[in-house]
Amino acid sequence: MDWTEKYRPSTLAEVRGNDKARDQLREWAETWDDHREAVILYGSPGVGKTSAAHALASDMGWPVIELNASDQRTGDVIDRVAGEAARSSTLTQAAEGEPGRRLVIMDEADNIHGTYDRGGARAVTRIAKEASQPVVLIANDFYEMSRGLRNACQTIEFRDVSARSILPVLRDLCRKESIEFDEEALKRIADRNDGDLRGAVKDLQAIADGRDAIGIEDVTGGERDRTKDIFAFLDAVLKEESPEDALQVTYDVDETPDDLLLWLEDKAPKVFEGEELARAYARLARADRWLGRVRATQEYTYWRYATDNLAAGVAAAREKTRGGWTRYGGHPYRSSKDATRDEVASRIAEVAGVSTATARRDVVPFLAAMTHHCTNRELTVRMAARYEFGTEEVAFVTGSGESTNKVQDIVADAEELRAEQAEAHGGDVFGRLEAEAREQTADSTDAETTDTDREPEPEQEAETDDEAQSGLGEFM
């Protein structure tokens, strides 16, 4: 049996390494009748967020309804399972006859936005705001969730569990399993998993399998391959490593090239300036062209060319190595701009019958040009009505402020337009745009099937983009 499950904490008192977060969670539960707010537990994987939620339920005597949002992520499913549980106040009865409580736990709550989660993010936000039962949302990345959801909840951060706090947990497990141990062996496991308690427990179980004693030599052979975190990657590329070594570091980071590009794009100005920064952005632009080719063709072998440019290329742009600590700040999606971009592309794709990649690449830029700063108000209203855009989406496409009266009035007029079923007045413009996007996609696919063996240069991808833009120019 997996030791992380076998020895999962049964009470909050047994949760290790996050005393402050544990106490905050207990206080949230004990005062829930006063504030009636959902809570977000966020932090790195393996620090005990889910275990703490279940331990809290045990302490409070609350039955648990659990929904993994990444597996069941549509709005209908979330509403049906978690929504009904969160809104019902008569599912359980306390001993005194008063309405009881049950705890709704939604894991991976940061993985419910984007193309395949139609309505999921909205359903979760609605549940968080309307719940008449305690709701715990668990997330690895706080800023991957929408601003509306974050603002509707209390938040508790679970910090990485230090090696110092991991070590006594490993000792305790060895004693429970009647395994003799060398203190230095456990210390090495703890050090190698610094920040990740769950990873340390899994390492210990793997090493102890079939043994009644663990020595230092056993740990050397049983080391688990752990990925580097994103900040080690940024240091390697922007400050420390040669182009060749920076590229090797990239292979150990659990992020896609698209995500690595966004991190470097956002954080490079914190280290580079002047010509260094210009050279770095030139390499990132080249990497982005390769990623555009991946999106257009679904040929993921091109990822390696993007990775060469964003890692080795950016490292080569550096004039000197640098030491010290850099305050990189948080996730580049801090403003939820990326989530809004995905939502815009998803809605356009659904209405137009094209892929989200086509919508993002071929439709959104022209909508942005046609509705820039809402100067063509009538067209902007028709766009918002056709794609059912709210203030966030209209602000994203037009470049206007989300809170401005102009954007809010446009959204209100668009809702009236939809109610009157008058979208057809603007259908020709957008319909032709969508039809042209589909035609461009079909042409691109045909071209790929006749020329799959030749390795293209990224400049060829840029030419393809230019051709697509000239073909859609009449709609600007």
Average pLDDT over residues 411-423: 78
Q: What are 95-153's pLDDT values in tens digits?
A: 444 447 889 898 877 766 443 445 567 778 888 888 888 999 998 878 777 788 888 89
Coil, helix or strand at residue 39: strand
Q: Residue 1 — pLDDT band, cuts 50, 70, 90?
A: low
Nearest to 82 by CA among 108, 56, 116: 108
If one compares 163 and 229, the residue with the highest pLDDT of the two is 163
Domain that holds residue 91: 3-157
Check whether residue 153 and residue 170 sit in a common domain: no
Q: What average pLDDT score do residues 297-319 get?
A: 87
Q: Which two tokens stand for residue 44?
A: 């790195």
Domain boundary among 221, 240, 268: 221
If asked whether residues 8 and 130 sit together in one domain, one would say yes
What CATH number is attached to the domain comprising 169?
A: 1.10.8.60
Alpha-carbon gap, residue 56 to 9, rounded angstroms: 10
Beta carbons of 170 and 25 less than 8 angstroms apart? no
More confident residue, 292 or 260: 260
Give the separation between CA 158 and CA 117, rounded to whole angstroms.
26
Q: Do 120 and 190 sit in the same domain of this protein?
A: no
- The DSSP H or E segment spanning 27 is helix 19-30
* Buried-state track 426-439, b at ≥16 Cβ within 10 A, e below 16: beebbeebbebbbe
Same domain (yes/no): 216, 251: no
For residue 217, being part of any structural domain is answered with yes
My answer on whether 140 and 24 are in the same domain is: yes
181 and 64 both lie in a single domain: no
Separation of CA 351 from chain center: 25
First to last CA, the chain: 62
Do residue 272 and residue 382 come from a single domain? no
Query: Quick one: 372 and 342 in the same domain?
Result: yes
CB atoms within 10 A of CB 297: 20
Q: Residue 133 falls within a domain, yes or no?
A: yes
Per-residue confidence (pLDDT) for residue 421, from 0 to 100: 52
Task: Tell whether 322 is covered by a domain.
Answer: no
- Of 106-110, 193-197, 245-249, 468-472, the poorest mean pLDDT is in 468-472
| 134 and 185 both lie in a single domain | no
Q: CA–CA separation, 96 vs 99, rounded Å? A: 9
**8 Å CB contact between 69 and 106:** yes
94 pLDDT band (50/70/90 cuts)? very low
Rounded-to-integer distance, Cα 204 and Cα 174, Å: 9
Within-domain flag for 259: yes
Residue that finishes a domain, picked among 129, 157, 185: 157
- Assigned domain for 67 exists: yes
Flag whether pLDDT at 286 surpasses 60. Answer: yes
- Do 12 and 146 reside in the same domain of the chain? yes
Taking the mean position of all CA atoms in its chain, how far away is CA 82?
A: 21
Q: Is 331 a member of any domain?
A: no
Task: Rank 26-30, 64-68, 219-223, 318-322 by mean pLDDT and report only the highest.
Answer: 26-30
Q: State how many domains the chain has.
A: 4
467 and 450 in a common domain: yes
Could you tell me if residue 329 is inside a domain? no
pTM reported for the whole predicted model = 0.48
Residue pair 176/210 in contact (Cβ under 8 Å)? The answer is: no
CATH number at residue 25: 3.40.50.300
Please compute the mean of the pLDDT values over residues 445-456 and round it to a whole number. Answer: 46
Q: Looking at the structure, tell me whether residues 135 and 211 fall in a common domain.
A: no
Domain-embedded: residue 328:
no
